[in-house]
Structure 1
């Protein structure tokens, strides 16, 4: 998806504009395939992919600036129950996955 956007951006004169992935995450409860194990795997794989310098086919040799959604589970958030379970920390500030950014 990132390269598709880079390609479209280049066609309108924005080939040097960097893209930042501002939200990426996986719910850990209350949805199909929403488990702590699946969410932890998603976050670890995402971190390993974006922190490296492999980049994408169009932008090789670059890390991808990415922000995880979200810092904490939002146990009082309205709407779909899975939306309350995207945090990498619980509402009690406990790490859910033991992620490493080093």
Structure 2
């Protein structure tokens, strides 16, 4: 989800992750159309914990992404530092009836309610 070095620069603002860059692009657009106070909620984000072949969908990557999202949510974006982010992790449970590959492996828990991996909220 994040790196320590700036990967995108927009004027005076530097971005270490795509989520912040995307959110700030939306904040700028909302300001431009006269709606600067609209609250943004990330309704669905996550990382799959399994996939097929050389897929980057691994338990370690999923744990890292979701743990970083949780930690990062309180800091805001470069455009709005200190403004917390409301975000919902997709998904709570793996869905064993979905197709093969990463599509069925987005959950924090297996259908039997055991953890796929642990994250601290």
| TM-score > 0.5 by shorter chain | yes
* Aligned match of 2:83: 62
TM-score, length of structure 2 as denominator length: 0.76
1:15 alignment partner in structure 2? 36
What is the TM-score normalised by the length of structure 1? Answer: 0.89
Relative CO higher for 1 or 2, CA cutoff 8 Å, sep ≥ 6? 1
**Structure with the higher strand share, 1 or 2:** 2
SS at match of 2:64: helix
RMSD: 1.2
- How many residue pairs end up in the alignment? 98
Gaps of 5+ in 2: 1-21
Query: Residue 41 of structure 1 corresponds to which residue in structure 2?
Result: 64
Q: Could you tell me which residue of structure 2 aligns to residue 76 of structure 1?
A: 97
Please state how far the C-alpha of 1:81 moved relative to its aligned partner. Answer: 2.4
